[in-house]
Structure 1
Amino acid sequence: MDELVTILVKGTLTSKKFKVHKGFAVHYSPVFKSAFNSSFKEGRTQTYELEDTTKGAVQLLVEWIYTQKLDLNGLEEEKTWDAQCMCLANLWVLADKLLMRSLQNSAMGKLETLCARHHWIPVVILNYVYDNTQKKSQLRRFLLYKCALKLDAENYTRFPEEFPKEMLLELAVYLIEAMDDLPDKSKFPKFKISDYEVPES
Structure 2
Amino acid sequence: MPRENIGDIAAKKFAELLSGPILDIFVGPDGRHWSLHQNLLTHHARFFDETYAINGAPKRIKDNKLDLRDEDPGAFELLVKWLYQGKIDDVSWMPKDVKWEYAFTCQKLYLLCDTIGLQELKNQAIDQFRRGCNEAGLVPGPEEMKPIYERTPPSSPFRKLVSKIAARQIMDPGSEKDATSYRECFAQSPDFAVDVINAIKEGSGGSLFDDPTEGNGCRYHEHDDGESCHKTVKFKDIS
TM-score, normalised to structure 2, is 0.65
User: Any unmatched runs of 5+ in structure 2?
Assistant: 1-17, 54-58, 92-96, 222-227, 231-239
- 8 Å CA contact 1:126–1:164 kept in 2: the answer is no
Using the aligned pairs only, state the percent identity.
Answer: 18
- 8 Å CA contact 2:100–2:132 kept in 1: the answer is no
SS at match of 2:36: strand
- 8 Å CA contact 2:149–2:159 kept in 1: the answer is yes
SS at match of 2:125: helix
Using CA pairs below 8 Å that are at least 6 residues apart, which structure has the higher relative contact order?
Answer: 1
Matched, 1:171 2:189: no
- Measure how far apart 1:146 and its partner are: 2.8
Matched, 1:133 2:155: no
- 8 Å CA contact 1:85–1:111 kept in 2: the answer is yes
- 8 Å CA contact 1:95–1:103 kept in 2: the answer is yes
Matched, 1:200 2:212: no
Who is 2:89 aligned against? Answer: 71
How many angstroms apart in 1 are the aligned matches of 2:28 and 2:139?
30
Who is 2:72 aligned against? Answer: 54
1:28/1:66 CA distance change after superposition, 3 Å: same
SS at match of 1:155: coil
Who is 1:76 aligned against? Answer: none
2:50 is aligned, of 15, 32, 35, to 35
Equivalences for residues 96-135 of structure 1 within 5 A: 96-123=114-141, 124-135=143-154
Aligned residue pairs total 186
- Measure how far apart 1:99 and its partner are: 0.7
1:155/1:22 CA distance change after superposition, 3 Å: same
- Measure how far apart 1:41 and its partner are: 7.2
How many angstroms apart in 1 are the aligned matches of 2:76 and 2:163?
26
Which range moved further: 81-90 or 136-145? 81-90
1:10/1:197 CA distance change after superposition, 3 Å: closer
How many angstroms apart in 2 are the aligned matches of 1:87 and 1:93?
10
**RMSD between aligned residues:** 3.1
- 8 Å CA contact 2:104–2:129 kept in 1: the answer is no
- Measure how far apart 1:61 and its partner are: 0.9
The one-letter amino acid paired with 1:35 is: E
How many angstroms apart in 2 are the aligned matches of 1:147 and 1:37?
38
- Measure how far apart 1:92 and its partner are: 1.0
1:10/1:189 CA distance change after superposition, 3 Å: closer
- Measure how far apart 1:142 and its partner are: 1.4
User: Any unmatched runs of 5+ in structure 1?
Assistant: 74-78
1:158/1:54 CA distance change after superposition, 3 Å: same
Tell me which protein shows more helix as a share of its residues. 1
Deviation track 1:44-64 (CA, whole Å, cap 9, x = no partner) reads 622221121111111111111
